[in-house]
């Protein structure tokens, strides 16, 4: 039996101005199940299955920038991931009674169009304020998101645009089977 390690690539991360940008984190949906460490340089390497190239998501949370890319079409190829201002989603978490749920810790998950499985996004957890409000920044527009706690979840992402704020208004978490 021979194990094929797949193809490899090298990527350069650039900011909106096209200049190299260090300090980002990558999530290579081809090989990783978690976010990579903060990059001290504006480049990274990765691997992928040439028959199933999934998205590579790069996030710079401190600058509110995000970008996605597909692996190159050849083994050892290179790509540039251009980061843009991420989308922002705001809302107010309310209970079934319509009252704000203050101080609730929610998990943030995501999936992409090429990999329909939920993975944790950054920040991993968010907490509602005293009025039940929350704000999520640096969201990749081409992804779907899920906010959840032990009472239920809400899925959103449609209509997110780079650099724009989407108000989700009053959000009620529902059980998966509801």
Would you kindly state where each structural domain of the chain is located, as residue ranges?
8-84, 87-171
Residue showing tokens 């079409």 = 73
Query: Is domain 8-84 classified as CATH 2.60.40.1120?
Result: yes
Q: Does the fold of domain 87-171 match that of domain 8-84?
A: yes
Q: Round to whole Å and give the CA distance between 98 and 119.
A: 29
Residue 152 backbone class (left: φ over 0; alpha: ψ -120 to 50; beta: rest): left
pLDDT in tens, 14-59: 999 999 999 999 999 888 778 999 999 999 999 998 888 888 999 9
Task: Please write the tens of the pLDDT for every residue from 71-129.
Answer: 999 999 999 999 999 999 999 999 999 999 999 999 999 998 878 789 999 999 999 99
Domain 87-171 homologous superfamily, CATH: Carboxypeptidase-like, regulatory domain (2.60.40.1120)
From CA 127, how far away is CA 90, in angstroms rounded? 12
Smallest CA-to-CA distance from 165 within 139, 132, 143, 147 is with 139
Whether the per-residue pLDDT at 178 is higher than 50: the answer is no
Query: 86 CB contacts (<8 Å, ≥6 apart)?
Result: 59, 64, 65, 66, 137, 138, 139, 140, 141, 162, 163
Find residue 90's DSSP bridge partners.
Answer: 135, 167
Cis? peptide before 123, omega within 30° of 0: yes
CA distance 26 to 44: 8
Q: Is 147 helix (H, G, I), strand (E, B) or coil?
A: strand
Angstrom distance (rounded) from CA 144 to CA 118: 9
Q: What is the pTM of this model?
A: 0.88
DSSP H or E stretch at residue 26: strand 25-28
């Amino acid at each position: 039996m021979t194990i094929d390690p797949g193809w490899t690539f090298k990527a350069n991360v650039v900011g909106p101005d096209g200049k190299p940008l260090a300090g980002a984190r990558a999530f290579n949906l081809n090989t990783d199940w978690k976010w990579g460490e903060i990059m001290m340089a504006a480049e990274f390497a990765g691997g992928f299955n040439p028959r199933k190239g999934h998205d590579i998501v790069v996030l710079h949370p401190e600058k509110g920038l995000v970008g996605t890319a597909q692996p190159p079409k050849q083994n050892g190829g290179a790509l540039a991931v251009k980061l843009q201002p991420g989308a922002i989603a705001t809302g107010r978490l309310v209970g079934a009674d319509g009252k704000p749920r203050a101080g609730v810790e929610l998990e943030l998950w995501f999936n992409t169009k090429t990999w329909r499985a939920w993975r944790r996004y950054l920040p991993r957890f968010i907490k509602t304020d005293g009025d039940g409000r929350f704000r999520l920044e640096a969201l990749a527009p081409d992804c779907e998101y899920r906010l959840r706690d032990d009472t239920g979840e809400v899925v959103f992402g449609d209509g997110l645009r780079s650099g724009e704020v989407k108000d989700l208004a009053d959000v009620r978490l529902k059980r998966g089977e509801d």
